Chain A
Amino acid sequence: MKKLFFTLLALVAAGLFGRVVYLVLSSPPEPALTAPNHDAIVAQLNHLFRQAAYTITWAIQLGYLAWLGLKWQGQK
């Protein structure tokens, strides 16, 4: 049961890593200063990168917790 929980946690962490890659790669290019919707694109970019930073934090922490849990279960 615990092994299943930590395996699921590892899958969640992997999914979060994938989401970070998607957020960064799918972000629009930096707009020119003269672009009519410059401020809106900058705000969107900031939002995507802030989301990516928070997501990668959880991906690393949950990934580590899953690794630790699986290692611990393996020792028992």
Chain B
Amino acid sequence: MKKPLLGLYALITLALLGWGYYQAIYVAPNDAMQGEIFRIIYYHVPSFAVAFFSFAVSLAGSICFLAFRGSHANRAQIADAWALAGAEIGVVFCTVGLTTGPLWGRRAWGMWWTWDARLTTTLVLWLIYVSYLLLRRFAAGPQMQTLAAVLGIFGAIDVPIVYMANRWWRTQHPAPVFGGGDGSGMAPSMVGALMWNMLAWFAWGVLIMTLRYNAERQSQKAAECDAQEALRA
């Protein structure tokens, strides 16, 4: 993305985040049962939605890296940069979800954490991608990117398990708000606030993922230059 375009996109994103906050605090009503604490949903749910999207980008990048690594070196490097950016942004948003969740749980359930299927699979997902990032940070040698791509693909298997956990098993975590069958759903006065925040956090996620991708490409090009200079010397 060109610099002025990126700046304009960043401004629109900040405006959306401000609008989303306004919707969440001043427009959406308090929940009849939970009161103000329910408003955490406007940050908690979009965070996980963006995390899942980011892990999907990482999955696509990992698959493309494995597909191209033998034939198209440049495409493989681009795919690898997207895989890393997706995993890192996914971990950031998953961390947000895993910290806002216990704050909500403490008030709604009277406890910070419980080892139910939804929470446990989410923690496992976070740990898998943290290990992916640690692998990329500390492993050395030409096989590092391949190993990371394989781990990224295996890690992504946990995403549908997390999503389905409160459908497959009985959990402390509430049933799905959307697509959860009879009795699920949200008051129309709250849907707007959730959708605005969903849009705003997606825009923010795409922005920081693009910045991370650019940083990684820059780092790859610098490493390539160093390698060529070493060969010449």
Contacts and interface: CB of A to CB of B under 8 A. Distances in A.
Interface in A47-76: 47, 49-50, 52-54, 56-57, 60-61, 64-65, 68, 71-72, 75-76
A42 B37 CA distance: 10
A64 B36 contact: no
A65 to B, nearest CB: 6
A24, A43, A52, A64: most-surrounded residue (chain B CB, <10 A): A64
Given A43-B36, A46-B35, A49-B103, A56 B211 contact: no
A49 B99 contact: no
Contact of B100 (A43, A47, A56): A56
B8 to A, nearest CB: 18
A75 B215 contact: yes
A50 B215 contact: no
Q: Which range holds the interface residue count of chain A?
A: 20 to 34
B219 A53 contact: no
For this complex, into which size category does the number of interface residues on chain B fall? 20 to 34
B161 to A, nearest CB: 24
A75 B96 contact: no
Given A45-B107, A68-B211, A61 B96 contact: yes
B208 interface: yes
B24 to A, nearest CB: 8
A58 B222 CA distance: 32
A46 B222 contact: no
Nearest to B211: A68
B96 A57 contact: yes
A64 B43 CA distance: 17
Given A45-B107, A46-B107, A53 B215 contact: no
Interface of B: 21, 34-37, 39-40, 43-44, 47, 92, 95-96, 99-100, 103-104, 106-107, 110, 204, 208, 211-212, 214-215, 218-219, 222
The 7 closest A-B pairs by CB, nearest first: A46-B37, A53-B100, A46-B36, A53-B103, A53-B40, A72-B215, A64-B92
